[in-house]
């Protein structure tokens, strides 16, 4: 890596860390039990929403009621998004006159967006009307992200409350997440993106003349029924329009990731400049990182939040550097062909296949690691074109459970499940009942934490096994062999951890893949969230245990290292055999 590479990476991490405290402090005030200047400022609007929806703001919920409200709200969103896709041919704001989306694709997309996954088996600009994009997908981007934050806040209350039977009110937490956090940040980012040239309009698609006319060859039937070829001239190009900037802002801030256009943030209308690239990249990690500080403030010990953030960085930064190094090493298969992959005065050398020349390798690998660490799923380069070991990094980040930053809310409560496992392991080492944040970790909490940690792993390995054994699963592989296995493994990993990014090269918009990935996405989101809410309810009912000489400090470098090791060991033991069959085998075959 060059000095410029380190400067770009260092600048991004520096700005991110500088924003953690102010944004995290702000969110802690938003979710505080006591009124404060932030909730008083928007109090009139907030109370109006409660009156309109019939919500009793003074009433709190047990963990079971909280989980039921979360589940019913999400299922209602699923039905709305499904209906919009199936009926869009008869609905307004459809200047391109797109017809109804197929039933299995509509089901897959509806599950994808209500689970904050945003897996896309379709091309947005060639499938979805403006109304479907706005009322269905963009709205769900807000609501699924707000749901994740709400569940996290409830889990944090489980640690902070003492001898309590309730963990908050889902409707209040949902409303505050959207009203005070996601909406203001999205409005600001939308304006910044529009200033950079991201499209935001309701115009029909525009046909414009091309700079240089060209042609393509197509095969048709003549009058006698014989196949003949002919040259078709191309003199115009269709430019997609639409309200893109507003959806892009929330897709990044809410760690959703679904692109308005098919190639996502590699499209110049979604991500036109280096500055827009920096803004979008920063927004992917902003809320997940800041929520660590929010957690520390809500439990009354900010060191706990910094410890969790440090554990995330301890895994994220080395993997980022490994991915960048792998891509800058280039592709050895191209050397015999005389392809120059050495550094030039303008561009560092390496594997530029599938990457935007305006961003280069560093900004592509930084995006790839950030988006897969954060359960975001958006891309500005094609992961399918990464070197085998370069592609292994984002795949493994997904497989670690999306807890290295992770989705807004869901990433941190996933990391808290690993923290519970870590203190349990430490307790076994010294023969003492484990404690975390003044609460004893007993059998029930361990069962719920284990379920949260192991369920995504089970979905990945079982789903991948089914896909490689069924003809409909392997039919969509574009590249046979180890790389084709990597395409399947990545897709199932992405769905089973609610990430949503695609390796590429796999034709996944088929009935088999839509159903399989839809099932993986649904069960990766809701059983895990319910398990964490159950653990929160159990912890909230417990008394606070004062610290003693035998209490394991959970804010020290020792615990940070232990927590990072637990995350890595679970990921390595579960997925190393599968990775050996995919990217590692491909790397050995290609001469890396």
Quick one: pLDDT at residue 480? 82
Query: Are 460 and 492 a contacting pair, CB within 8 Å?
Result: yes
CA-CA-CA-CA dihedral for 496, 500, 501, 507, to nearest 10: 80
Q: Which of 255-269, 283-297, 353-367 is modeled with the greatest confidence?
A: 283-297
What pLDDT, on the 0 to 100 scale, is given for residue 360? 86
Span of 316-320, 334-338, 386-390, 429-433 with lowest mean pLDDT: 334-338
Among 122, 120, 151, smallest CA distance to 31 is for 151
The answer to whether residue 346 scores a pLDDT higher than 50 is no
Compute the Cα dihedral for 71, 72, 75, 76 and give only its sign.
negative
How many CB atoms neighbour CB 127 within 10 A?
22
Report the distance separating Cα 60 and Cα 110, nearest Å: 30
In 3D, which of 187, 110, 157, 193 has the Cα closest to residue 413?
157
- Where does the pLDDT of residue 216 fall: very low under 50, low under 70, confident under 90, or very high at 90 and above? confident
Alpha carbon distance 286, 15 (integer Å): 10
pLDDT one-digit tens code per residue, 227-250: 888 888 888 988 889 899 999 999
Q: What token pair was written down for 408?
A: 């807004």
Of 80-94, 249-263, 340-354, give the range with the top mean pLDDT.
Answer: 80-94
**Largest CA-CA distance found in the chain, in angstroms, rounded:** 92
Distance CA 336, CA 357 (A): 23
Using alpha carbons, select from 184, 194, 382 the residue that is nearest to residue 275: 194
Reduce the secondary structure of 64-77 to three states and give it as a string. HHHHHHHHHHHHHH
> 3-state DSSP: the chain helix, strand, coil percent, rounded to 5?
65, 5, 30
The enclosing H or E element of 217 equals: strand 206-221
Short-list 478, 456, 474, CA closest to 465? 474
> Cα–Cα distance between 171 and 162 in angstroms, integer?
22
Question: Could you tell me if residue 292 is left (phi over 0), alpha (psi between -120 and 50 degrees) or otherwise beta?
Answer: alpha
The string of pLDDT tens digits covering residues 12-56 is: 999 999 999 999 999 999 998 877 888 888 888 999 999 999 998
- What is residue 73's predicted lDDT score, i.e. its pLDDT? 96
pLDDT of 411 above 90 = yes
**Chain Cα centroid distance, residue 358:** 24
Angle, helix 274-298 to helix 3-30, in steps of 10 degrees: 40
In this prediction, residues 542-553 reach a mean pLDDT of 84
What's the pLDDT band for 342 if we cut at 50, 70, 90? low
pTM, entire model? 0.93
Q: What is the DSSP letter of 356?
A: -
| Best CA proximity match to 269, nearest among 258, 279, 261 | 261
CA distance 378 to 255: 9
Strands of 222-332 (E only): list them.
227-239
In 161-233, alpha helices (H):
170-176, 183-195
- According to the model, what pLDDT value does residue 508 have? 86
* Alpha carbon distance 399, 413 (integer Å): 16
With CA atoms as reference, report the closest residue to 368 among 284, 275, 460, 487.
284
- Segment 517-539 mean pLDDT: 96
Stretch 91-108: mean pLDDT: 92
Average pLDDT over residues 192-204: 93
Contact 220, 230 (CB under 8 A): yes
Separation of alpha carbons 130 and 459, rounded Å: 34
Count CA within 13 A, CB hemisphere, residue 176: 26
* Overall average pLDDT of the 542-555 stretch: 85
Share of the chain above pLDDT 90, in %: 68
Position 338 scores a pLDDT of 66
Q: What is the pLDDT of residue 356?
A: 82
Residue whose structure tokens are 């470098």: 557
Which residues are 209's β-sheet partners? 236
């Amino acid at each position: 890596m060059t000095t410029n590479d380190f400067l770009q990476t260092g600048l991004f991490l520096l700005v991110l860390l500088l924003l953690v405290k102010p944004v995290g402090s702000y969110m802690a005030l938003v979710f505080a039990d006591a009124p404060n200047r932030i909730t008083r400022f928007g109090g009139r609007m907030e109370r109006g929403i409660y009156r309109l929806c019939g919500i009793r703001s003074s009433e709190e919920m047990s963990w079971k009621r909280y989980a039921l409200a979360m589940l019913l709200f999400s299922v209602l969103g699923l039905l709305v998004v499904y209906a919009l896709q199936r009926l869009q041919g008869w609905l307004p704001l459809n200047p391109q006159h797109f017809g109804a989306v197929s039933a299995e694709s509509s089901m897959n997309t509806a599950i994808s967006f209500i689970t904050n996954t945003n897996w896309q088996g379709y091309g947005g600009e060639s499938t979805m009307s403006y109304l479907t994009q706005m009322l269905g997908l963009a709205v769900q981007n807000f609501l699924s992200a707000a749901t994740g934050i709400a569940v996290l806040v409830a889990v944090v209350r489980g640690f902070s409350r003492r001898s309590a039977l309730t963990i908050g009110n889902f409707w209040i937490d949902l409303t505050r997440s959207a009203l005070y956090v996601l909406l203001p940040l999205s409005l600001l980012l939308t304006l910044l993106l529009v200033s950079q040239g991201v499209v935001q309009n309701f115009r029909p698609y525009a046909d414009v003349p091309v700079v240089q006319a060209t042609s393509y060859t197509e095969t048709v039937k003549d009058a006698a029924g014989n196949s003949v070829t002919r040259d078709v001239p191309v003199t115009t190009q269709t430019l997609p329009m639409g309200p893109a900037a507003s959806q892009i802002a929330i897709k990044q801030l809410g760690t959703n990731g679904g692109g308005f256009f098919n190639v996502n943030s590699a499209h110049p209308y979604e991500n036109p400049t280096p500055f827009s690239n920096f803004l979008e990249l920063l927004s992917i990690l902003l809320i997940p990182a800041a929520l660590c500080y929010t957690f520390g403030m809500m439990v009354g010990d900010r060191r706990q939040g910094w410890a969790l953030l440090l554990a995330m960085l301890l895994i994220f930064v080395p993997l980022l550097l490994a991915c960048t190094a792998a891509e800058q090493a280039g592709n050895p298969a191209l050397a015999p062909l005389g392809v120059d992959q050495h550094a030039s005065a303008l561009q560092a050398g390496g594997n530029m296949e599938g990457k935007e020349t305006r961003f280069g390798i560093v900004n592509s690998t930084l995006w790839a690691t950030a988006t897969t660490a954060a359960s975001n799923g958006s891309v500005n380069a094609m992961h399918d074109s990464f070197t085998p070991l370069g592609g292994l990094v984002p795949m493994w980040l997904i497989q670690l459970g999306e807890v290295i930053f992770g989705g807004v809310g869901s990433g941190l409560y996933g990391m808290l499940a690993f923290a519970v496992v870590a203190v349990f392991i430490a307790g076994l080492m010294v023969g003492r009942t484990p404690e975390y944040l003044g609460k004893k970790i007993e059998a029930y909490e361990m069962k719920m934490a284990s379920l949260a940690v192991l369920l995504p792993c089970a979905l990945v390995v079982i789903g991948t096994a089914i896909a490689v054994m069924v003809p409909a699963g392997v039919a969509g592989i574009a590249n046979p062999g180890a790389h084709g296995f990597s395409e399947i493994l990545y897709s199932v990993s992405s769905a089973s951890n609610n990430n949503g990014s695609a390796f590429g090269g796999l034709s996944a918009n088929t009935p088999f893949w839509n159903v399989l990935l839809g099932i993986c996405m649904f069960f990766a989101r809701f059983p895990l969230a319910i398990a964490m809410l159950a653990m929160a309810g159990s912890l909230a009912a417990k008394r606070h245990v004062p610290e003693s000489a035998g209490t394991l400090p959970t804010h020290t470098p020792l615990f940070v290292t232990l927590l990072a090791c637990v995350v890595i060991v679970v990921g390595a033991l579960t997925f190393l055999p599968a990775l050996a069959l995919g990217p590692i085998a491909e790397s050995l075959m290609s001469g890396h």
